[in-house]
Structure 1
Amino acid sequence: MMKQWLDIADEIKQIYSGKEFVPLHEPTLGEKESEYVTDCIKSGWVSSVGKYVDQFEKQLAEYVGVKRAVAVVNGTAALHVALKMAGVQPGDEVFMPSLTFVATANAASYLQAVPHFVDVSKETLGLDPYKLEKHILEIGEMKNGELINKNTGRIIRTVVPMHTFGHPVDIDQLLIVCKRYNLALVEDAAESLGSLYKGKHTGSFGVAGAVSFNGNKIITTGGGGAILTNDEELADYAKHITTTAKIPHRWEYNHDELGYNYRMPNLNAALGCAQLEKIEYFVSSKRALVNKYKLIFENFDGVSVFEEGTQVKSNYWLQTLMIDRKNHKLEKVLEVLNAYGIMARPVWTPMHKLSIFENSPQSNLEVTNYLAESLINIPSTPLKGEEE
């Protein structure tokens, strides 16, 4: 069986022009990025203000189809502020998947809220709205228009779905559950810029959404993130508190509440403007890549390429394999691929298995535990010159 995986490794190297080491994901940068960044440097406005920040926010909002985008220093900061915009208070609980990157749970914790972990769907890899409602019926009760966890006495105000590896969750059903139990929806769309649910961009459905532009994301600003919203008032508030809550004045430094120095530097925004101009190419190239992987694995027993569901369009940020544990030992597969120069990784350790969140409330997490032992990501950098 390991000989088959060595053959697979060779085929992946051929996709990437015979490179000896194929990383999981690396940025695709070119002349336009150099042009914009050089222009930014020449202007002298490289830090917290400048024309590229405003330009990037405008372009991003237009691309996603929301009224406003607020650029910040990273995706975690974006989610932190998005949860604050949704009214999350100290002591509240926040529904979220356990199968996620730690930033989702950290962002809630920054507000002294408590992550409450709910199971995911095998079909989307994201929060399962049916299991969420089943869990609510078991542990929740409505009092004065608020959902209360009967076991802890805490208010549950918010649901945070995460679009895993770029695959949209079942948003429609999730919105129904949110409306029924008076829950605010905040999307962790860190990985799903360019993904659509029924023709509408992820990150645009709830009170706010958060995206990431880390170096391994579909577009990058080096580091960076953004808050997305259709609420102009909330957008103004987000812009205010992410720029240290400073009251505008020509020279005085007055601040009217606890703020955060979460501003995206102009230099990073310049890079983002160039990257955003290429996003359709990046998405199309990644969608072409998944078809190449499907051909490679079509006759490989016990391994399947995870594909998008119906009525959605995934950006396929990270290409994902589902491994049948009866036929393959996950650790051995990872060992062989990485030793042969193919960077592969397992899914994140589920949040409920981390010691820092071991006391957080949780639903039955059967699917989460199964997927954590069944999924691996393989190289996902867009292929130059190849599109869908």
Structure 2
Amino acid sequence: MIPLAVPDLTGNEARYLQECISSGFVSSVGPFVGRFEHAVAQAAGCSHAVATASGTAGLHVALTAVGVGRDDLVILPSLTFIASANAIAYCGAEPWLLDVEPGSWNLDPVLLEQLLEQECLLEGERLLHRPSGRRVAAMMPVYTLGLPADMQRLGALARKWRLPVVADAAAALGSSCREQAVGTLGADLTVFSFNGNKTVTSGGGGAVVGAQESLLQLVRHLATTARQGEEYDHDRIGFNYRMTNVQAAVGCAQLERLSAFITAKRRIRERYNALFQEYAHFIQPFPEPAGYQSACWFSGGLLCDATPEQMRKLIARLQEDGVAARPFWKPVHLQPPYQQAPRSRQRVSESIHYRILTLPCSTSLREEEQEQVIAVLRRCLG
């Protein structure tokens, strides 16, 4: 079986892990944590970063830092992994689920502008959602598959409506828009994941980056149990969201090869896209608008005309032939925990999510392995 996405751990990972063991620094206090934070900040184009136990933990602490609280609403695209919505729920808030635009699969700024005008009222610094009577406390664009959202338009709306922005850039490290690095696109805080299937992994873990030092200091304070000084004094409810030195050691080794990993991911996607040109009436490539450079976390295509049952059969056939193809996220508004959350119409999300096919795209995928995947896919597409 050719796997979907597995890490390449052939760099300095083992050496750095041995340093952790030899030094005894295996928990959250250790030199690799600071090195990791510095490397992530540089890669994102930012001056500050805080490492966290997971990407979800990073989202939770970032939302808390910008003031999201109980009974608030947070604007979120429905086409995302459920962890995005869960982080909002951890704050006692609820996602306001919006549709995505077809050209990027990211939060639709035109739809958002319409809904803000039609359904919201700005009272001083407080944005009120009139149908529910609840405060809209933040916006969380998601950089789907490592492709940044249209932060130029979304950021303008956020400023107009006094909304802080926490970007879920879980898989987008290494991406850019109009030659601007992913951490500099206008979000107050940007959050990455380093889960095992990400382009760069620390086995688990996440990071929050940004330009405002005071805001990042608050994130760090909250993520370290809100402890003050050397005594056991805590000034608010905090979280034990620290990354360990062991995780950071793996992450440091991975980040040394970020450029090579991104190049490999883009090369893999280009090969698949070349195939899709031959079968354009069956399958389309993942979106990448002009001026954007995706991190190409996953590669694959959008089936032009397929039912959910046909997609299940296609994936089963690929897997039977040794290709670990997978379906994509089911939108959040279709998930039982969030079926009562406020939402917009979901024309795009509902029409595409079950037609998205992800294909093997590990950074270590050999050309002959990808050719094998392509040969199997050719047979399936007929």
Structure 1 stretches lacking a partner, 5+ long: 1-20
Match status 1:217 vs 2:191: no
Shift of 1:385: 7.8
The question of 1:155 aligning with 2:99 is answered no
Alignment partner of 1:270 is 2:249: yes
Matches within 5 A, 1:108-257: 108-204=88-184, 205-249=186-230, 252-257=231-236
Does the 8 Å contact 2:272/2:300 carry over to 1? no
Provide Cα deviations, 1:81-114, integer angstroms capped at 9, x if missing partner.
1111211121110000000001110001101011
Q: How does 1:1-80 map to 2 (within 5 A)?
A: 21-80=1-60
Is 1:105 the counterpart of 2:85 in the alignment? Answer: yes
Tell me the amino acid that sits aligned with residue 44 of structure 1: G
User: After TM superposition, which residue ranges in structure 1, 4 or more long, deviate above 3 angstroms?
Assistant: 383-386
Alpha-carbon separation, structure 1, partners of 2:295 and 2:24: 35
Contact kept, 8 Å, 2:223 with 2:238, in 1: the verdict is yes
Offset at residue 211 of structure 1 (A): 0.4
TM-score normalised to the size of structure 2?
0.92
> How many Å apart are 1:203 and its aligned residue?
3.6
Q: Is it true that 1:335 corresponds to 2:290 in the alignment?
A: no
CA root-mean-square deviation = 1.5
Residue identity in the other structure for 2:89 = S
SS in 1 for 2:272: helix
1:336 CA displacement: 0.9
**Which residue matches 2:67?**
87
**Alpha-carbon separation, structure 2, partners of 1:25 and 1:260:** 31
Cα distance in 2 for partners of 1:317, 1:237 equals 30
Residue type matched to 1:64 in 2? A
Q: Secondary structure at the match of 1:175?
A: helix
**Using the alignment, how far apart are the partners of 2:31 and 2:70 within structure 1?**
36
The SS at the match of 1:226 is strand
Q: Does the CA contact (< 8 Å) of 1:85 and 1:208 recur in 2?
A: no
SS in 2 for 1:346: coil
> Once the two structures are aligned, what percentage of the paired residues are identical?
36
1:31 Cα shift? 3.9
Give CA deviations for 1:237-267 in whole Å, capped at 9, x if unaligned: 1111111112221xx3222211111110001
Instruction: State the match for 2:345 in structure 1.
Output: 364
CA contact (8 A) 1:203 1:211 kept: no
**For structure 2, which runs of at least 5 residues remain unmatched after alignment?**
368-382
| Match among 258, 265, 273 for residue 286 of structure 1 | 265
Q: 1:379 — aligned with what?
A: 360
Find the aligned partners of 2:97 and 2:219 in 1 and give their Cα distance. Answer: 26
Q: What SS does structure 2 have at the residue aligned with 1:381? A: coil
Query: What CA distance in whole angstroms lies between the structure 1 residues aligned with 2:6 and 2:60?
Result: 26
Aligned mates of 1:43, 1:161 — CA distance in 2: 40
Q: Check whether the contact 1:73–1:263 (CA below 8 A) recurs between aligned residues.
A: yes
- SS for the counterpart of 1:373 is helix
* Aligned-partner Cα distance in 1 for 2:226–2:275: 53
Counterpart CA distance in 2 for 1:66 and 1:326 is 42
